[in-house]
Structure 1
């Protein structure tokens, strides 16, 4: 806890952490919100999974390109433009009764235009704290973001129960608009200058640690997307039990993030943390009631934030500063593609054999992720001695 206290004493850092958490809060609600609303509108989880997959794929394909635009047109201009387009597309989904193809198109546009909050803030962090505090900061951030997954699903299902799926989705997009505005107005964001990179788009993927992080995180997040769908299918649309189970899982992640945040990153760290997730998901296979699923997914959650923090630390420790926005965007792309595959396959499995089918999908995907991380551990950096100083680059003006 001493390291976390030292992190929070950095001038302006506590404020930027809070603001970016608000801006990212809708990410804990959109997956379930779109899944519930599209199932309600079109009648099957397969259709809902297709729309959610389009949203995720749109986000994934556009992410690396959009982040590079921040160096060319400025961080604020890109954030404002993407927020307006994304909110407009989501508004059409939440308020209009559209055919499936139109919802798929709107979902893809909304995803492609999602403001790049996460790459922006993770690019900003190394400019705000000493390098020896970066690893604890990434763990602290990964743990705190689980607040999104604790309160997001519970709030969503409560709103669906009281308002219905369409109005609830509208509330979520309002939260997105307000959160993005607060983030954009932050002095640290407005004054962030990202130098243009000399590399072509995608060249950063030639770095083995980056490519490995993209592939492993894709399978890992795909597994959790499948579990989300399975929990919703098990308890039914709008059931408070679904939000409780997912919230308990997020609480496990919160605790795991704080507990392991001070531990250095080694080549084995990702594999070990994903194995914890795998054990929890395997325990969840025979469970169909709230208590059993909550315990199993709490165990799985203990490895979630630590694994996500490890990916962030690996990028910070192996990629030049000018290329970090794109590298983080590729991590996001991998995770979103994984979520798309996980959601789509889980939807088919649910329609075929029920909620347990989605849990089987999750177990297989996380097992593959853990195996890849273990087999290719030599391509992961050893950060036990800390993350080195980033190379010199354009200055970032921070408030005095």
Structure 2
């Protein structure tokens, strides 16, 4: 823990971690918030799944494109534009009752306007710390990210079930505004300029570690989202047990991220962590009661943040600095699509076979998430004894005064 304290003592690190955490927090809330709201309005989890699928398409298009635009137009211009559009569209979904097709159209625009916070901050990190501190920083950040993906739905569940689904979405909007302004105003966002990439859009996916990280991130977050929908369906809209179980899920992930943050990253690192997630989820499906789910999902959570830390490290160590924003854009897109489609698939299966269907979806996603890195071990960089800094570009990268 002393290494984390020294890391947070580095100039600007604690501030930028806090700002990006708050700025990205709503996107761990909105998939489930949309699911609950659209289901309440239409009476169908399947209809809610269609809206989430439209959202995921928008996110798939946005991720790599907005990341590249930051290299052309600057981080702040892209972040401000996407933030304003996202706030307007998401607020409209919450406040205006409409047909499912119109919800789908707005869901698409909500997805395509997702601010590229993740690729921005992942690109900034290597310019803030030494190469030896970068992997622990990714581990700490992964633990913080898990707060987004797991604790976010806990808050959404509580507010949506106890106050109302409109308030669940609008709370996310308020946090989006506060966090977005905080992050955009951070000096580091104005100080670091991303050089224009010389590659065509999508070419960075030809790097096997980037493709591996994108696919596994999709499967991991998809499994988490299916679990969240399954837990909510198990205990109902008015069940406090859902929030408690999901909170314990998040505690497991935080514990795993902090405990395993300094474990060397070898070729089997990602497969081992994903196996922990799969094992916990598989056990959870056996008995759908609060005590059993709390224990088994805590076990599953232990593998989540460490797996995310490995994803960030293998991407950073495999691409040039000018390509990092787009690479992380693809990884973020994979995770956002996973969140939306995991919830969507779970929604359809809940309609067909009850809450257990969502857990079977999570099991399938987590199993594939273990098999893919196991089979793709040769594409997994061996970072034992190496730092995770991006590869050097062939020309200087200017640092602009904030």
TM-score range, shorter chain: over 0.9
Specify the alignment match of 2:399 in structure 1. Answer: 396
The number of aligned residues is 399
Root-mean-square deviation over aligned CA pairs: 1.5
Question: For residue 55 of structure 1, what is the aligned residue in structure 2?
Answer: 55
Q: CA deviation at 1:214?
A: 1.3
Other-structure match for 1:161: 161
Cα distance in 2 for residues equivalent to 1:73 and 1:144 = 28
Aligned to 2:35: 35
C-alpha change, 1:388 and 1:149, in structure 2 (3 Å) is closer
Is 1:124 the equivalent of 2:124?
yes
Partner Cα distance (1:388, 1:45) in 2: 42
- 5+ residue gaps in structure 1? none
CA deviations on 1:17-56 (whole Å, 9 max, x unpaired) are 1111111121221122111101001111111111122222
Match of 2:139 in 1: 139
The corresponding residue for 1:283 is 283
Deviations 1:278-327 (A, max 9, x none): 11001101222211111111100000000000000001111100000100
How much does 1:144 deviate? Answer: 2.2
Structure 2: state its 5+ residue gaps. Answer: none
- Residues 22/62 of structure 1: CA separation in 2 closer, same or farther (3 Å cut): same
Between stretches 166-175 and 332-341, larger displacement belongs to 332-341
Once the two structures are overlaid, the 10-residue window that deviates more, 22-31 or 128-137, is: 22-31
Deviations 1:79-117 (Å, cap 9, x if unpaired)?
000001111111110000110001111011011101111
Question: 52-61 vs 284-293, which deviates more?
Answer: 52-61
Deviation string, structure 1 residues 150-206 (Cα, Å, up to 9, x no partner): 642332233223431112211211111111011101111122211001101001111
Q: Does the Cα contact within 8 Å between 1:256 and 1:304 map onto a contact in 2?
A: yes
Tell me the secondary structure at the aligned position of residue 317 of structure 2.
helix
TM-score of the aligned structures, taking structure 1 as reference length: 0.96
Q: Distance in 1 between matches of 2:45 and 2:338?
A: 18
Distance 1:219 1:381 in 2: 20
5 Å-filtered alignment, 1:170-185, equals 170-185=170-185
- Cα distance, 1:342 vs structure 2: 2.1
CA apart distance, 1:338: 2.7
Aligned ranges 1:210-221 → 2 under 5 Å: 210-221=210-221
1:388 shift after superposition: 5.4
How far did 1:238 drift?
4.3
1:204-353 matches, within 5 Å, as 204-353=204-353
CA distance in 2, matches of 1:268, 1:148: 26
